[in-house]
Amino acid sequence: MSNIEREIKILNVDAKRVMLKMKELGVKPKGKYIQDIYTFNFPTVNDDFNGKLQYALNTGGKEPLLDLLEEIKACFTRKDLELIKTVLGTKDIVKYVSNAKVEDLKLLDNSKVHDLMKKVNKNYSKWIRLRQTVDETTITIKKIVNSNGEYNLDDVKELEFSVPSIDDGKEFLKTLGYYPSLHQRKMRIAYDYNKTEVVIDKWPKIPTYLEVEGKTKEEIYEVVNDLGFKSKDVRVLNTDDVYKERGLDIYSFKDLDFSDIERKEVNELLEFEDLLEKQD
């Protein structure tokens, strides 16, 4: 199933305070668990563009190239569009490729265009996530389709499906030529509230944060207010950016797991939520 999420984060939260607020609002968690996450990377945008351009030039098949351009066009700035116009005579690169003859596609094999794709690669993310949550395992293809955060929110497109187990997921992706680049473990307590998903996330080496996902900015900010936070508390960033703010590179940890002290903290949070539920 494919969908669009819009999400914000609130950093350095008191997780127990959030749990108590959710109880006050009459909301029980839909899940509380420790997740194992494996990440598999796609080729970079510039490598992917070059491969699909050469495929189009060699075979006349433009569909893979068009699919890529549709995905990344939201990342183009006004300056980028002006550059495209100097090369193609039009700012609409998707329309150009759609209408172009094969020989006309040679204009795209241009140093300016290749440099642009390298720039886009810094603002666009696409990866595969294999995740096990208790007895459920899923494969998710995630794409950040607008790195600037449309409506001041991250815009993430997902395609997700279930697989029988972590081992089956790894074998399936290995057969397709993908190998895990990272393994990460985190704690998550998740709630459904007022048309949004509210989650408390605890990752290794960084403080606990709150994430709210919904379809609209209005729905998300209403929930932020209900939870006792203000607009100034809201941040639009990815988990890797949270690590960067702590001076850490999440991708430098090939196996990111909790320390003994963090594992104790995680167990205390899960037990606290258990206690709240028993009080009902």
The rounded mean pLDDT for the chain is 91
Q: What is the pLDDT of residue 146?
A: 59
CA distance 27 to 7: 20
The mean pLDDT value for 147-161 works out to: 63
- Report the Cα 258 to chain-centroid distance in Å: 22
pLDDT range class, residue 183, cuts 50, 70, 90: very high
- Residue 151 in this model has a pLDDT that exceeds 90: no
Q: What is the pLDDT of residues 59-112, one digit of tens each?
A: 999 999 999 998 888 888 889 999 999 999 999 999 999 999 999 999 999 999
Q: How far is CA 137 from CA 35, 36, 57, 178, 238, in A?
A: 10, 9, 40, 17, 22
pLDDT range class, residue 150, cuts 50, 70, 90: very low
Q: What is the pLDDT of residue 4?
A: 57
Q: How many CB atoms lie within 10 A of CB 11?
A: 16
| Domain spans in the chain, listed from the N-terminal domain onward | 2-42+123-278, 45-121
Q: How far is CA 219 from CA 78, 159, 170, 209, 215, in A?
A: 30, 23, 36, 19, 7
For the 2-42+123-278 domain, the top CATH level (class) is mainly beta
Buried/exposed 94-126: b ≥16 CB within 10 Å, e otherwise: eebbeebeeeebeebeeeebeebbebbbebbbb
Q: In terms of pTM, does the model score above 0.85?
A: no
CA distance 79 to 76: 8
What is the token pair recorded at 169?
């997921």
| Full DSSP string of 207-265 | --EEEEEESSHHHHHHHHHHTT--GGG-B---HHHHHHHTT--GGG-SEE---HHHHHH
What is the token pair recorded at 254?
């090939």
Nearest CA-CA partner of 143 in 132, 130, 129, 133? 129
Q: What is the pLDDT of residue 54?
A: 97
What is the token pair recorded at 64?
């893979």
